[in-house]
Amino acid sequence: MSFSLYVEVLIQGVLSGLVYGLMALGLSVIFGVVRVVNFAHGEFAVLAMYCAFVLFGLAGVDPIIASIPLAIAFFVLGYAMQRGMVQPFVTRPQHEQFILLVGVALVITNGLLLVFGPESKHVDLPYSFDSYTVAGVLIDKVRVYGAAAALAVTAALFAFFRFTSTGTAIRASADNLTGAAVVGLDVKRLYAISFGLGLACVGAAGSIMMALTDMTPMLAPSLTLLAFTIVIVGGLGSMTGALAGGLLIGVAEAVASLVVSPAIKSMVSFGLLVLVLALRPQGLFGKAES
């Protein structure tokens, strides 16, 4: 195999990794702030994929463009879900939170099966098979666009947390919940915004993924698992970790597909997961429990 093929696969891995990373970022934000694990994360990604599929079918909207309105719509959905459904569970035992979100996951998957059936769907974009050639290396155009969109959404989220007072207040509540109540932050509102932002990430990521892969409702559990793997490898609750984990898993899967076979993809990411858990249980960017 030629050297340029390796470079090509490495780049593909990075590009997919950015989209994975955005999806995982959503899981990380929700857990990091609200301390609830979104067990329906992959289902929301698939829901976003179907939304993008429908938007493409009805109005010809490019799924990569649709990632912006879908991020906004999923923000509203997440905000409402936290306010109306998840908030009362925040102080309940973890197994009850688990049941709630697994319930949500089942409703989404079965709803999609009911409406769209189990066949796999994809969209044909005019530039689906175009590619750039840089120094003899071939890069898919659609992956470049997708990664650019994912990067833009990620950057916007980081900027929000860093530079706005609401973003700082969310970091404050994640940092010290008692302190947040003491200074009079409206924690429930901040939780709702955080859940909204988490779903905005997965909404955008799902929409972008629709441009890159085929999809069926049954894809959801493997996406949930993927997001978990990334977040745990990167470090639970760390935003940088989610991004780095996404890149790492993206590259590892791409390289494994090339060197061994595409069938071994998941095995490699779980192998990485086990390795990280054994050597650095808090994840690459996580803080050790004191």
Partner 1 sequence: MLSVESLDLFYGDAQALSGVTLDVPEGEIVAIVGANGAGKTSLIRAIAGMLKPAAGRVFYKGADITGLDSHRVCNLGVGQVAEGRQVFPTLTVRENLAMGGLLPRARARKTGNMERMLELFPRLRERLTQAAGTLSGGEQQMLAIARCLMGEPDLVMFDEPSLGLSPALANDVLDTIVDLNRKGLSCLLVEQNVAASLEIAKHAYVLENGSITLSGQGSQLLADDRVRQAYLGM
Quick check: 290 binds partner 1 (CB under 8 A)?
no
List CB contacts of 208: < 8 A, sequence separation 6 or more: 19, 22, 63, 64, 67, 146, 149, 150
Residues 82-111: x/- map of binding to partner 1 (CB under 8 A)?
------------------------------
Q: Which is nearer to partner 1, 138 or 185 (CB)?
A: 185
Q: Is 118 in the site for partner 1 (CB under 8 A)?
A: no
Concatenating the DSSP letter of every residue in 207-273 gives HHHHHHS-B-GGGHHHHHHHHHHHHHHH-TT-HHHHHHHHHHHHHHHHHHHHHT-GGGHHHHHHHHH
Question: Looking at 29, 30, 71, 187, which residue binds partner 1 (CB under 8 A)?
Answer: 187
Q: What whole-number distance in Å separates Cα of residue 247 and Cα of residue 262?
A: 18
Q: How far is it, in rounded angstroms, from Cα 278 to Cα 213? A: 32
> Smaller CB distance to partner 1: residue 59 or 288?
288
Cβ(37)–Cβ(101) under 8 Å? Answer: yes
Q: What distance in Å separates the CA atoms of residue 191 and residue 226, rounded to the nearest whole number? A: 24
137: phi then psi, degrees, rounded to nearest 5: -100, 130
Q: Which stretch binds partner 1 (CB under 8 A): 36-44, 129-137, 166-174, 250-258?
A: 166-174
2 binds partner 1 per the rule CB under 8 A: no
Q: What is the Cα–Cα distance from 59 to 122, expressed in whole angstroms?
A: 15
Q: How far is the CB of 184 from partner 1 (least distance, A)?
A: 3
| Residue number, 84 or 179, with CB nearest to partner 1 | 179
User: Contact between 288 and partner 1 (CB under 8 A)?
Assistant: no
CB of 6 to partner 1, least distance (A): 39
In the bound state with partner 1, the residue whose beta carbon lies nearer, of 118 and 184, is 184
Helix, strand or coil, per DSSP, at residue 140: strand
- Of 6, 102, 131, 168, which one interacts with partner 1 (CB under 8 A)? 168
Residue closer to partner 1 (CB basis): 94 or 162: 162
Q: Minimal CA–CA distance to 27: which of 215, 232, 266? A: 232
For the segment 191-210, give every residue that binds partner 1 (CB under 8 A).
Answer: none
172 binds partner 1 (CB under 8 A): yes
If one asks whether residue 179 binds partner 1 (CB under 8 A), the answer comes out as: yes
Binding site for partner 1 (CB under 8 A): 165, 168-169, 171-172, 175-176, 178-188
